[in-house]
Structure 1
């Protein structure tokens, strides 16, 4: 693989598993140093031990406001700069709204929306000062279709898509690219919360993506010429509509 991210520093949230892990590993393979951000210290240690000094673990609970505000200072302390933020951490609630737990709704909206906004807000001054940067947010196919079995989750992704597109318009003049990747269902821990019948249906139909496939699209977005922004990629399994 060409080392197209040689010399760059990336931070990936939710990097201990799933899309975040696959994205972080793809960036490492492309030559970047990567700060793996997650609240699971044991998982981070295991993952980063496989990759040597270019993989830097950073244990943060992004739902803790003080810890969340420390993201950029800690990244700068560990790596000295930040060229790429992949705001990937998120959670999922599916099923009928009437059955959802109110505390779980608060937690999901906080992580899927508020934390993403705060992370992007906090890294922008550093990127603006340097006149360059890339921000990618993990959205979802659910942001583009009113999925009836996940009204809360889909709403959070519709909100974050609006945030990505409006922020992009504000900061492109500073040399900063902002985009979203919107995959269909991905084989990851989030699917543990899917309604059982929907998960079985998706498996039977072959309508699930692998996290590594999503990571390759993230890498594609990051490695376009600076004059090109891939603002949003919607990707889904070929059999999704069966």
Structure 2
């Protein structure tokens, strides 16, 4: 017997909040969850991009399905308001996708220390603080999903991005340990770890490496990641997809 709601949309009636949602994987996740019936709060610091995307998404999925929330997550005071502002805007929260992140690649000796600080703060500290803040809400309602965008770099010591890879190794450990603390409360925690995806994060790749990857078909499209995110979040509640590693079939480690 089907467990889908009458409208056939598995996430109907649920609210998702997605950080870094105005572009890339965050936008692809938004599209996928809207398609599954959820309302989505798009969290990003780019007000113009948020407004444009929400207008487009609501025109396609129905007015009020995509909700814009402008927050600079690197501002500690603003970051701490995420849950209360999501609840005020959408009236609930069932899925939180911690997706916002940045990238520092290349040789460590060439990296800008300020860029390292910013990336580690966004990729690790902000994720931990956001998850810390939404968990009491999920625990109180007896269910919820936390999904974190990790990376293939969390599973392989990638020599061309030691700082970025280290941040994702840290967050992968965070996901696996927090999951074991909260599963008894009906809260699922998982990570999606894509290989190279066509997003703005690849802007720091050496031009010759990016050109070669595009030519060889060794990049994923964000929409492909969105499809997997939808799969993870629509499994029966008795099943947790803890880790998904996805990479282009022609990608050679």
TM-score by length of 2: 0.94
Matched, 1:41 2:47: yes
Q: Which of the residues 116, 119, 134 maps onto 1:108?
A: 119
Alignment counterpart, residue 192 of structure 1, candidates 198, 203, 206: 203
Is 1:29 paired with 2:35?
A: yes
Report the Cα distance in structure 2 between the residues aligned to 1:225 and 1:28, rounded to whole angstroms: 19
User: For 2:55 and 2:8, how far apart are their aligned partners in 1?
Assistant: 23
Matches within 5 A, 1:45-56: 45-50=51-56, 51=58, 52-56=63-67
Partner of 1:4: 10
What is the alpha-carbon distance in structure 2 between the residues aligned to residue 181 and residue 103 of structure 1? 27
Match of 1:149 among 160, 166, 169: 160
TM superposition shift of 1:81: 1.0
* Structure 1 residue 29: Cα displacement: 1.1
SS of aligned partner of 2:69 = strand
Residue 201 of structure 1 and its aligned partner are, at CA, apart by 2.1
How far, CA to CA, are the matches of 1:176 and 1:195 in structure 2? Answer: 40
For residues 5 and 89 of structure 1, the distance between their equivalents in structure 2, rounded to whole angstroms, comes to 22
Q: CA deviation at 1:197?
A: 2.5
* 1:1-242 matched pairs, under 5 angstroms: 2-50=8-56, 51=58, 52-241=63-252
**CA distance, structure 2, for counterparts of residue 2 and residue 210 of structure 1:** 26
Q: SS at the partner of 1:181?
A: strand
Distance in 1, matches of 2:51 and 2:186, equals: 34
Give unmatched runs, 5+ long, in structure 1.
none
SS at match of 2:97: strand
The farther-off stretch of 194-203 and 146-155 is 194-203
TM-score, length basis structure 1: 0.98
Q: Which moved more, 1:123-132 or 1:198-207?
A: 198-207
Structure 2 unaligned spans of 5+: 1-6
C-alpha separation in 2, matches of 1:2 and 1:232: 26
**What displacement does 1:195 show?**
1.9
The 3-state SS of whatever aligns with 1:53 is coil
Deviation larger for 110-119 or 187-196: 187-196
Instruction: Encode CA deviations 1:173-215: one digit per residue, 9 max, x unaligned.
Output: 0000000000000001111111222212211211000000000
